[in-house]
């Protein structure tokens, strides 16, 4: 079964405190949904378009598990802390077996 991944890229973070509030709620929700944090805003070497934005990568045992974790009540509550101070490009993708 192919794994599932959350991939988030943050083009703009105008309110880092809102991001911290979101992370405090999102971390437990992600772990409860079976997610494992692989990368969160570490070093980036940009090529091609040259954009060094914050990237977050979270792994799940399956694509379905990744979708269910996003749709969970706990994660939806975490999203409430995010909307105004952070611009985010978020995707759930299926890995290759």
pTM for the whole structure: 0.90
| Token code pair at residue 14 | 């105008």
Per-residue pLDDT of the chain (97 residues; tens, 9 = 90+): 899 999 999 988 888 887 888 999 999 999 999 999 999 988 888 898 878 888 999 999 999 999 999 999 999 999 998 868 789 999 999 999 7
- What pLDDT score was predicted for residue 85? 77
- Sequence-ordered alpha helix ranges (H) in the chain: 16-32, 63-71, 73-79
- What pLDDT score was predicted for residue 86? 87
- What pLDDT score was predicted for residue 74? 96
């Amino acid at each position: 079964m192919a794994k599932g991944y959350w991939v988030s890229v943050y083009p703009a973070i105008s309110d880092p405190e809102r991001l911290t509030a979101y992370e405090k709620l999102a971390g437990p929700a992600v772990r409860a949904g079976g997610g494992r944090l692989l990368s969160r805003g570490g070093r980036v070497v940009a090529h091609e378009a040259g954009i060094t934005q914050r990237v977050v990568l979270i792994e799940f045992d399956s694509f379905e598990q990744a979708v269910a974790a996003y749709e969970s009540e706990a994660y939806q509550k975490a999203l409430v802390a995010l909307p105004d101070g952070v611009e985010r490009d978020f995707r759930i993708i299926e890995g290759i077996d």
